[in-house]
Structure 1
Amino acid sequence: MSRRTPLMLQITPGDPRPITRQIVDGVRRLVASGELPVGAALPSVRGLAQQLTINPNTVAKAYNELTAEGWLDARAGLGLFVAPPRQVLAPEERERRLDEAVQRFVGDVIALDLPKEQVLRRIDEELSFLTPKKTA
C-alpha cells in the first residue's frame, strides 16, 4: 500500500471563501507547484478532516470537486491520488475562465488602493511559486 502524503493545508476562519473552496484551492496549488507529485496518495477524507478539525463532509465535497475536475484519481479500495495532467478545456474555454478570474481579482484588489506595480509584483511572485519544481 502506498504511503499517504500529508497535506500542508491551512484553513483560515476569517477567509471569505468557504472551507471547501480553501481546500480545493490549496490542493490545486500544491499539485501545480509540484509539492504533490503525480501519483501521490492523499489522506483519507476522515484523516484530513481530523487534521483540519472540520466536518468530513466538507473534505468529501472538496475531494469530489477535485476528482471531477481531473486533479485527483479515485481508485476503488485504494484511495485518492494526484492525477496526471490532462487538457480537457478548449482554448476558448480557458480564455473565458481566465477573463472571469481576472475580473474577479481586479474587483477584489481595486478597493485595496495599492500601486499597480505592487500588485503586479505579487502576482509574479505567486505565479513563480506555482512553476513546477524541477527534480534532478
Structure 2
Amino acid sequence: MDEFNTSKPIYLQLADRIHRMIVSKELKAGEKLQSVREMAITYNVNPNTIQRTYSELEREGILETRRGQGTFVTEQEDRLIQLRGNLKDEQIQTFVKVMQEMGYSSYEMISGLQDHLNKMGKGDV
C-alpha cells in the first residue's frame, strides 16, 4: 500500500483511488465495495475517513448505499462515462500545465506524446 500525500485530505485521496479503480474496471458497475470497517483496515485509516469517502462518492453519484446490503458502484452508465471523461481531462490539464511551465510548445507536447505512444506500440493517433 503506497503512502498518502500530506497535501491533500486522505478521504479525497481514497476517493481518487476508487475513481481510478472504477475507470480501469477493477471495480465494475453494480459491484459491492468492502464495508467501511474492512476498507479502513485495508488502508489503515480510521473508519470515519472511509465513511467520509463513501459519502463524498455517493454525493457525486458514483456510489450507492443500499440499506442493509452495503455500498455499491452505481449502475448509471452516464455517471460512469462522465467520471471517465473527467479523469481524462484532469490528467491532460495537469500534463499540459507542467509541460508549459517547462517551456514546451503544443507541437513539442503532441510530437513527444506521439513518439512515446509509438515506442509503447500504441501509436494509433
Measured against the shorter chain, the TM-score band is: 0.5 to 0.7
Query: Deviation string for 1:33-67 (max 9, x for gaps)?
Result: 11111121101111111111111111100000111
2:67 is aligned with 1:76? yes
CA gap 1:111/1:39 in 2 versus in 1, 3 angstroms: same
2-structure distance, mates of 1:60, 1:66: 10
Share of identical aligned residues, percent? 30
RMSD over aligned Cα atoms: 3.8
Matches within 5 A, 1:115-134: 115=104, 117=109, 121=113
Please report the TM-score for the alignment, with normalisation by the length of structure 1: 0.60
Alignment of 1:46-65 (within 5 A): 46-65=37-56
- Is the Cα contact below 8 Å between 1:49 and 1:59 reproduced in 2? yes
Q: Would the alpha carbon gap of residues 14 and 44 (structure 1) be closer, same or farther in structure 2, given more than 3 Å must change?
A: same
> Higher Cα Rg: structure 1 or 2?
2
- Who is 2:94 aligned against? 105
Normalised to the residue count of structure 2, the TM-score between the two structures is 0.64
- In the superposition, relative to structure 1, how do residues 11 and 66 fare at CA in structure 2: closer, same or farther (>3 Å)? farther
Whole-Å separation in 2 of the counterparts to 1:102 and 1:51? 27
Structure 1, unpaired ranges of 5+: 1-9, 89-96, 126-136
Equivalent in the alignment of 1:23? 14
For the residues of structure 1 that align with 2:91 and 2:13, how far apart are their CA atoms? 19
- Specify which structure has the higher proportion of helix: 2
Judged with a 3 Å threshold, the aligned counterparts in structure 2 of structure 1 residues 108 and 11 are, in CA distance, closer, same or farther, namely farther
Give per-residue Cα distances to partners, 1:81-101, cap 9 Å, x unaligned: 11113446xxxxxxxx89x95
Structure 2 Cα separation of the partners of residues 23 and 14 of structure 1: 11
Q: SS in structure 2 opposite 1:80?
A: strand
Question: Higher RCO, 1 or 2 (CA under 8 Å, sep at least 6)?
Answer: 1
The 3 A distance-change label for structure 1 pair 52 and 60 is same
| Deviation (angstroms), 1:70 | 1.2
- Which residue number in structure 1 is paired with residue 33 of structure 2? 42
Q: Give 1:17 shift.
A: 2.0
